[in-house]
Amino acid sequence: MTINRRVFMGTTAAVAASLSAPMIARAQTAPRVVVVGGGAGGATAARYIANGSQGAIDVTLVEPTRAYYTCFFSNLYLGGFREFDSLGHTYGGIASGGVNVVHDWATGVDREAQTVTLAGGDVLPYDRLVLSPGIDFVEDSVPGWSTAAQNVMPHAYKGGSQTELLKNQIMNMREGGVFAMVAPPNPYRCPPGPYERISMVAHLLSEVNPTATILVADPKESFSKQGLFEDGWERHYPGMIQRIGPDFGGGNVTVDPSAMTISIDGQVEQVDVCNVIPAQRAGGIVFAAGINDGNWAPVSAYDLSSRIDPNIHVLGDAAAQGAMPKSGFSANSQAKVAANAIVAALTDGRAFPPRFANTCWSLIATDDGVKVGATYEATDEGIASVDSFISQVDETPETRAETYRESLGWYDAITEDMFG
């Protein structure tokens, strides 16, 4: 099925209607929900709780940035297929929909008192708390690299200025230079993301610096859509891309930002640009709340509530929920399930059975789009895949072009769903 704005928003309207369940008379003080993080999970949850409760719940969204730049589709900016400004979205639509938007950092959670502390000193009480903070990086996961070096060897794995920096570095590479990537270990945000990035960097270099080469050090034996990407690289960028997997030292990597070198299994390579994507974990507020188990926050598949504190829900990249990949589509899907459960719990409304879906699109070259996705159900063990699909290597150019157009429609639809 082609996903465009009409289809996506029609599905959204159906879910919104399901959230508008009958409610008991409001108490004098409305129940309070605080949402931390204004991305695909948090922005969607805030809007759907406010809309679904018809004003019966006081909803506050805490997000430090005034303009949110999506990580999804940022690779297309690197490849020259989108303008940077097209990735940016503001919160006026959410505020006009009845959500109190606070631009500040959430720094602490008192689970006993049920309060969130902000960097500016404010303390927000909550009846339910939604955490959708995205990712942070595991320090020292790539020896020689830390966030202090991100302006020399950018990660560009959070939307915004890092993406601009990386593109600027690519555009200023010497003729015939080397672009290097240190790929992340599982699990991480957007499984096909690093490899779409390689495709987009190759596309850009093929136009502005065709004798440049790309070196990928990868600790994983395999990766999402591998056959599709490798087929596309051979067809569009023959001889430009070299991937070194763990069998050849891709898991034994160090970097030296001051010397602009990367060492792979002891062999030192001089590079011109180095994109380091480190190992990842949940955003810091999950750890401040004390609801983590290792690097992520374990949650119930039925309502995304923490398995440690049922009054806290964790969405998207930060959650350990089962089979869903860490993606913008996943976070948006999970947010609607959590919103339905929260509205039902706080207004004595009806909770509907959870349903989840995800699709990840990737662009390999002009009009050469591929996708992978699945539908999911909730089980006691976690979110489980029901059925799945993936593009095939032998698809026609027309099918690939349609897949790319489908992704453009999805981007417009999901950002409207998030931000109004």
Helix or strand holding residue 5 (H, E): helix 5-19
pLDDT at 272 over 70: yes
Question: pLDDT tens digits, residue range 223-237?
Answer: 999 999 999 999 999
Three-state secondary-structure class, residue 28: coil
* Last residue within a domain, chosen from 260, 276, 292: 276
User: What is the spatial distance between Cα 367 and Cα 339, in angstroms, rounded to a whole number?
Assistant: 36
User: What is the spatial distance between Cα 21 and Cα 56, in angstroms, rounded to a whole number?
Assistant: 11
Residues 6+ apart with CB under 8 A from 119: 104, 105, 106, 107
Question: pLDDT tens digits, residue range 385-405?
Answer: 999 999 999 999 999 999 999
pLDDT reported for residue 20: 39
Mean of all residue pLDDT scores within the chain: 94
pLDDT at 7 over 90: no
Question: pLDDT tens digits, residue range 213-265?
Answer: 999 999 999 999 999 999 999 999 999 999 999 999 999 999 999 999 999 99
CATH of the domain at 81: 3.50.50.60
Please give the residue range of the domain that contains residue 15.
Answer: 5-136+280-419
Q: Indicate whether 266 and 298 sit together in one domain.
A: no
Q: Indicate whether 149 and 214 sit together in one domain.
A: yes
Q: Indicate whether 118 and 217 sit together in one domain.
A: no
User: What is the spatial distance between Cα 338 and Cα 351, in angstroms, rounded to a whole number?
Assistant: 10
Q: Is 239 left (phi over 0), alpha (psi -120 to 50) or beta?
A: left
Judge whether 295 and 286 are in contact, CB under 8 Å: no
User: What is the spatial distance between Cα 377 and Cα 363, in angstroms, rounded to a whole number?
Assistant: 28
Q: Indicate whether 129 and 146 sit together in one domain.
A: no
Amino acid occupying residue 183:
A
- pLDDT band, residue 3 (cuts 50/70/90): low
Q: Indicate whether 126 and 10 sit together in one domain.
A: yes
% pLDDT > 90, the chain = 92
Residues 6+ apart with CB under 8 A from 102: 60, 61, 62, 63, 118, 122, 124
Three-state secondary-structure class, residue 217: strand
Q: Indicate whether 350 and 270 sit together in one domain.
A: no
Give CA torsion, residues 135, 326, 362, 232, to 10 deg.
Answer: 100
- Look at residues 352, 357, 327, 332 and name the one whose alpha carbon lies nearest to residue 342: 352
Number of domains in the chain: 2
Q: Indicate whether 30 and 61 sit together in one domain.
A: yes
Q: What is the DSSP string of 373-395?
A: EEEEEE-SSSEEEEEEEE--TT-
Place of tokens 């949650």: 299
User: What is the spatial distance between Cα 180 and Cα 243, in angstroms, rounded to a whole number?
Assistant: 10
- pLDDT band, residue 11 (cuts 50/70/90): very low
Cis peptide before 187 (omega within 30 of 0): yes
Helices (H), 243-355: 284-288, 328-347
pLDDT at 26 over 90: no
Q: What is the DSSP string of 74-94?
A: HHHHHHTSS-GGGGEEESHHH
Residues across the chain: 420
Q: Indicate whether 286 and 411 sit together in one domain.
A: yes
* Last residue within a domain, chosen from 276, 302, 330: 276
Q: Indicate whether 148 and 176 sit together in one domain.
A: yes
Angle at 413 between CA 197 and CA 50, to 5 degrees: 120
User: What is the spatial distance between Cα 158 and Cα 233, in angstroms, rounded to a whole number?
Assistant: 25
* Last residue within a domain, chosen from 276, 292, 319: 276
pLDDT at 21 over 90: no
Question: pLDDT tens digits, residue range 159-204?
Answer: 899 999 999 999 999 999 999 999 999 999 999 999 999 999 999 9
Amino acid occupying residue 372:
V
- Look at residues 273, 276, 69 and name the one whose alpha carbon lies nearest to residue 171: 273
% pLDDT > 70, the chain = 93
- pLDDT band, residue 8 (cuts 50/70/90): low
Q: How far is CA 343 from CA 54, 79, 100, 349, in A?
A: 10, 41, 17, 7
Q: Which whole number is the average pLDDT over 305-327?
A: 98
Question: pLDDT tens digits, residue range 347-383?
Answer: 999 999 999 999 999 999 999 999 999 999 999 999 9
- pLDDT band, residue 25 (cuts 50/70/90): very low
Amino acid occupying residue 210:
P
Q: Indicate whether 321 and 336 sit together in one domain.
A: yes
The tokens of 227 are what? 């056959």
pLDDT at 276 over 70: yes
Q: Indicate whether 391 and 312 sit together in one domain.
A: yes
Q: Indicate whether 218 and 285 sit together in one domain.
A: no
